[in-house]
Amino acid sequence: MIRRRLAILGAFASLLIAGAVRETGAADAFRQLKGREITAKFAGQEFTDEVHFAEVFGRDGTLAVISMGRRGTGKWSVVGDALCRAYDGEEQRCYQVWASGKNVQLRQPGIDISEDGILQRPAARN
């Protein structure tokens, strides 16, 4: 259920961001990260759109998720050059990671929609 909500929110956010990127020409600033870069960038950080979802990537491979006010957990890992997430009770999905500064896009090969957000230190939440 969390995965479905994230996918819908990610799709909506990516459409908005894709339009902005096309207008500014900033698409060239994104580059695909390799395995070690992904681990270094995500471990201990929070991936968020600052409104609808936040995922904290624990250094021990745990994943703490808040989506639309609901909390969940899961696991994350890096396999080859892909970031893989498995929310509790759901199958693992792997993504290419594209980054430009703190802006990140999680892309699945063959799918034109990406999950867009920023990486930051985990924010304190109630």
Q: Which of 7-16, 19-28, 57-66 has the highest mean pLDDT?
A: 57-66
Mean pLDDT taken over the chain: 85
Type and span of the H or E element at 54: strand 53-57
Average pLDDT over residues 29-49: 97
pTM: 0.77
pLDDT digits (tens, 9 = 90+) for 98-121: 999 999 999 998 999 999 999 999
pLDDT above 60: residue 20: no
Residue 109: its pLDDT value, please?
A: 87
Domains, the chain:
2-120 (2.40.128.640)
The single-letter code of the amino acid at 37 is: E
**Beta carbons within 10 angstroms of residue 108's beta carbon:** 14
Q: Quick: pLDDT tens for 71-93.
A: 999 999 999 999 999 999 999 99
